[in-house]
Structures are given as structure tokens and as C-alpha cells.
Amino acid sequence: MRKVGIIGVGEYLPKKILTNQRLEKMVDTSDEWITTRTGIKERRLAAKNEATSDLAIQAARRAIKDARLKPQDIDLVIVATITPDSAFPSVACILQDALGIKNAACFDVSAACAGFVYAITIAQQFIACGSYKKALVVGAEVLSSVTDWKDRNTCVLFGDGAGAAVLAQVKSGGILATYLNSDGSKKELLMIYAGGSRMPISRKTLTNRLHYIKMQGNELFKLAVTLMAEVAQTVLKRAGLECKDIDLVIPHQANVRIIMAMAKKLGLPREKIYLNIEKYGNMSSASTATALVEAVKKGRIKKGDIVLLDAFGAGLVWGGCVIKW
Ligand code: COA
């Protein structure tokens, strides 16, 4: 099997900033509550004319450039998203057309907040076994389109953004181990009920606001801490490493308290955890993606570093990757 690594990264965050202070005027909440309960200070919102593919295109362009490749070099495009432009075609196909990529397999992956980790793992397998050579993997979301701006339990949490990575065969290092898992029996803890084949949009679903995210935050909180710690332990074991070997953890950014509770369980110090939740909130698949891109661009990840991607989300799904940079 070939060694596979990340050879380029790029991100795109919409310009519009929604602060906690602004949210105080929209729902019964406070900057103090949001900051202490979640760690979020502000989030980005896509413009009215920006769909998920628009964000993905910008992030992908930057990642391909960073990898010193041309769009024509890409032969596999995977977009992790739960907010596609429409049910079909896939965002990956829209991206392919916009970037002028020819002769590539293109598809979307639905694994919510663990989507980027799932997509990286899929791309790694395809390249490792020789089916494809250069994969573009994107985590992109416009969660503001499925957020109930009247529900204070959820609307303070989410944001929009996109992060991308290009994967290819590498001579040394690269992805050392991956781990994916899921538990569909807990699907109702976080879901959008209407808008699919089970419950097509109707006047009734609109009145009952069933086309927006519904979440049981408390229950998810506890599971997230346990499962994200389990991800770290399992994937590190697969890589033949221990927690002390990690240079930086890129966790899914749902709540700073979840992340720090997980770190405590694993005995990881604060400086080994990369956080960007304060600026962007929870962007589902785009959270781990943009955090990885930022950490690379800021020099927090250096050649030879051991990096752990660790994510958890609706499904439930969870997973991780250990990468030697
Ligand atoms: N502003 C002010 N008060 C709020 C609020 C808001 N935005 N949202 C909820 N509250 C209130 C609740 O109504 C509740 O009031 P009550 O005690 O009078 O009933 C109180 O704050 C505490 O609510 P609770 O749900 O217990 O808070 P919490 O500490 O669990 O924090 C979350 C809520 C959502 C931040 C937290 O549970 C969480 O992050 N869960 C996991 C989310 C997650 O992982 N989601 C996606 C997976 S990727």
C-alpha cells in the first residue's frame, strides 16, 4: 500500500460576522452565557447569494494552489457536507465543473461533523490502493441555512465555512492510522426531520419548523466527551503511538468544554489542542477542516509533527486520523 499524505490546504470563511452581542438582540441569550457555556464569541454567515459550493470552490482553489498542482491534476473529489446546494447533483460535481477538473470521480459524504475525517479516510484508501492519485477533500457547510434563528438552544452554536486538503502519495510520514465508527440508534439526538423523503417539506413542517436543526445538547455533550476520547485512544493505538507522542490535536469544534473535558481524560495539555471555535462556532465538517488549515498556516504544525484529527457528530458518527506531517 502507498503512503498517503496531505500536500496542500486551503480555507474560506464568509466575510459576514455575527457576534454574540448581535445574537442578544435576536433571541433571549447573552454574550456571557454563550461564551462560558460554549467558548464561542462570533461566527461567520454566508452571504445571501453564497451556497455551500461557493465556499467549497474558494477553499479548494487555495488548497490546489498550495499543493502546487493544477485542477486538471485532481482525479478524485470528495465533499463532506450536510448542507449541499440541493439534494442533487453533489457539491463535488458542482465543484468539479467550477474548477475545470476533468476525468475525476466526484461524490459527497454525509457524516455531519465527522465528515471531513470520513472523507480524508476514504480518499486515503483510494490513493493507497492505487485507484486514484490526487484527491481533493473538502469540508464545507452553510449551516445558517438550516439553523432556526428563533431557537436559542441551537442558533448560538453554528456557523458557515469551508476547508480543503489535497491528498497524494508521499515518500515518508503521511496518514499513519484512521478510525471510523457510528451508532445510528442515537440518530434523534441531532437531526433535521423534514425536507427528505420521510417528511417532504409541507405547510405543516414549515409551521412546526421541522426543516431546522433539532438537538438534545445535554445528552450529546456527554457522548461527545466519551467518544472523542475513545477516538484518540483507538486511532493512536492503531498508529502504534501514545498520547504523549501527539504534537497537536485538531478536534471538532462543537463546544470548548467538550474539547477540554476530552483533553483532561487523555491527559493532554491545553497547548496541544488547536481551537478556532471562538471565531467560527460549530461549522460541522468545515470545523476540523478549517482548524487544520489554520494550524498549518500559522506554523502550529511543522514537518515531522504528529497531528490527531478527532471528530464527532450527528448520526451518531465519530472518527479520527493520525498524520505525520
Ligand atoms: N442562552 C441562554 N440560555 C440558554 C441558551 C442560550 N443560548 N441555550 C440554552 N439556555 C438555557 C436552557 O434553556 C437551560 O435553562 P433552564 O435550566 O432554565 O432549563 C439552561 O440554559 C441550561 O441548558 P443546558 O442545555 O443544560 O446547557 P448546557 O450547559 O448543556 O449547554 C449546549 C448547552 C448546547 C451548549 C451543550 O449542551 C452542548 O454543547 N452540547 C453538545 C452540542 C454538540 O456537540 N452538538 C453537535 C455535535 S457535533
255 lines ligand 1 (CB under 6 A): yes
Whether ligand 1 lies within 6 angstroms of the CB of 283 is answered as no
Q: What digits encode the pLDDT tens for the residues 89-110?
A: 999 999 999 999 999 999 999 9
The CA distance from 107 to 319, in Å, is 20
Q: What SS3 state is found at 17?
A: strand
Q: Could you tell me which residues are beta bridge partners of residue 190?
A: 215
Q: Under CATH, which architecture does the 4-171 domain have?
A: 3-Layer(aba) Sandwich (3.40)
pLDDT for 105 equals 98
- Grid cell 485532481 in the structure block, residue: 74
Q: Which residues neighbour 87 within 8 Å (Cβ) at sequence distance 6 or greater? A: none
Assess whether the C-beta atom of 272 lies below 6 angstroms from ligand 1.
no
Q: What is the pTM of this model?
A: 0.96
Residues 6+ apart with CB under 8 A from 66: 8, 9, 10, 166
Closest CA to 123 of 289, 299, 277: 289
User: pLDDT tens digit string along 213-268?
Assistant: 999 999 999 999 999 999 999 999 999 999 999 999 999 999 999 999 999 999 99
Kindly report, residue by residue over 168-226, the tens digit of the pLDDT: 999 999 999 999 999 999 999 999 999 999 999 999 999 999 999 999 999 999 999 99
Give the atom of ligand 1 at the shortest distance from the alpha carbon of 258: 39
176-324 placed in CATH 3.40.47.10:
yes
Checking if the pLDDT of 36 tops 90, the result is yes
Identical fold for domains 4-171 and 176-324, yes or no, is: yes
Residue 252 annotated among the catalytic residues of the structure? yes
Strand 42-45 and strand 16-19: pairing? antiparallel
Q: Are strands 214-215 and 190-191 parallel, antiparallel or unpaired?
A: antiparallel
**Alpha carbons 187 and 19: distance in angstroms, whole number:** 30
**Distance from C-alpha of 2 to C-alpha of 129, rounded to nearest angstrom:** 7
Residue boundaries of the structural domains of the chain:
4-171, 176-324
Is 211 considered catalytic here?
A: no
